[in-house]
């Protein structure tokens, strides 16, 4: 029985490999999941004295998610953390994007995180644990040619927020990272002078910390890139409140108050938003 067990999806290379190695170095037994060949990463962990097992099931189906989790349970009898990292790119301008490009990206990124986390949830509820989603600036801020990818990644922010609320009573913490790193997915997107500063090893310490039992964070998004670590917040400005249904002209006249985020608040859940909406007219 290992003291802590984690699943890292898409861990055969890039960020996932880096995460798996960092977690193993922190004493975590790791299921190294990758539809390619996870064996080199497993052997690298074992050669360094860590515990790891490979798994090649796809995250894009419910059955695949279940099989990945069962690998952890059958091997070590427990599961403490899930790092949803598996991903693909099918970039295209929105006008030229095909149904297959949309479906494939949603299935791996958003669907994959659903599938693996849903299968893991009953086991995490037994003793608490951690889930790390991999969001992206492409979803949070937008990026040309990535409507499918950005939609999936922003969907993971919503999943993070909901699961952090649902898992709180059971001691399950759920966070998201928005990493920027040099991987196969970014090699052709960024100039060399930027890529030189974006080794995946800069991202993995954040994942390792979020997985640790003493980490207090849940429901948050963290920007991680080249040595900079920062929380990303979803906030609401003070807005303009009306005591009767406004006209479009009323809204245009109140544009400055509606558009500003000066004096913002940060709702923690839907109830907080409802409370803001029920505030006094101004």
Do residues 155 and 110 make contact, with C-beta atoms less than 8 angstroms apart?
A: yes
Return the SS3 of 128. Answer: coil
- DSSP letter for 247, please: P
Q: Return d(Cα 90, Cα 96) in angstroms, integer.
A: 11
Cα dihedral 155, 161, 167, 171, rounded to 10, equals: 130
Active site residue 229: no
Reading the block at residue 203, the tokens are 């991202």
Reading the block at residue 185, the tokens are 């997915």
Reading the block at residue 163, the tokens are 């699961």
Do residues 17 and 7 make contact, with C-beta atoms less than 8 angstroms apart?
A: no
Do residues 45 and 32 make contact, with C-beta atoms less than 8 angstroms apart?
A: yes
Reading the block at residue 246, the tokens are 């406004």
Q: Which of 102, 126, 128, 131 is nearest to 115 (CA)?
A: 131
HSE, CB side, 13 Å, CA atoms: give it for residue 37: 4
Q: Return d(Cα 130, Cα 148) in angstroms, integer.
A: 27
Q: Which of 175, 184, 104, 176 is nearest to 134 (CA)?
A: 176
Q: Which residues are catalytic?
A: 149
């Amino acid at each position: 029985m290992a003291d802590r067990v984690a699943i890292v999806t898409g861990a055969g290379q890039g960020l996932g490999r880096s995460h798996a190695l960092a977690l193993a170095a922190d004493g975590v037994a790791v299921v190294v999941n990758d539809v390619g060949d996870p064996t080199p990463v497993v052997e690298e962990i074992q050669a360094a004295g860590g515990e790891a097992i490979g798994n090649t099931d796809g995250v894009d189906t419910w059955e695949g998610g279940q099989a990945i989790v069962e690998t952890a349970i059958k091997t070590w009898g427990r599961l403490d953390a899930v790092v949803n990292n598996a991903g693909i790119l099918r970039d295209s301008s929105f006008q030229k994007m095909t149904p297959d490009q949309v479906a494939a990206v949603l299935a791996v990124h958003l669907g994959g995180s659903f599938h693996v986390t849903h299968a893991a949830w009953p086991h995490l509820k037994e003793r608490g644990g951690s889930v790390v989603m991999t969001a992206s600036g492409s979803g949070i801020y937008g990026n040309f040619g990535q409507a499918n990818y950005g939609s999936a990644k922003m969907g993971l922010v919503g999943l993070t927020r909901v699961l952090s609320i649902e898992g709180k009573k059971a001691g399950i913490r759920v966070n998201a990272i928005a990493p920027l790193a040099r991987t196969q997915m970014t090699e052709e997107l960024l100039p060399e002078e930027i890529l030189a500063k974006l080794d995946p090893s800069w991202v993995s310490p954040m994942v390792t910390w979020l997985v640790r039992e003493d980490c207090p964070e849940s429901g948050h998004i963290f920007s991680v890139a080249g040595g900079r670590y920062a929380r990303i917040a979803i906030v609401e400005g003070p807005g303009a409140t009306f005591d009767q249904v406004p006209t479009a002209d009323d809204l245009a006249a109140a544009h400055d108050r509606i558009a500003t985020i000066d004096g913002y608040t940060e709702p923690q859940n839907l109830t907080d938003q409802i409370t803001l909406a029920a505030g006094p007219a101004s």
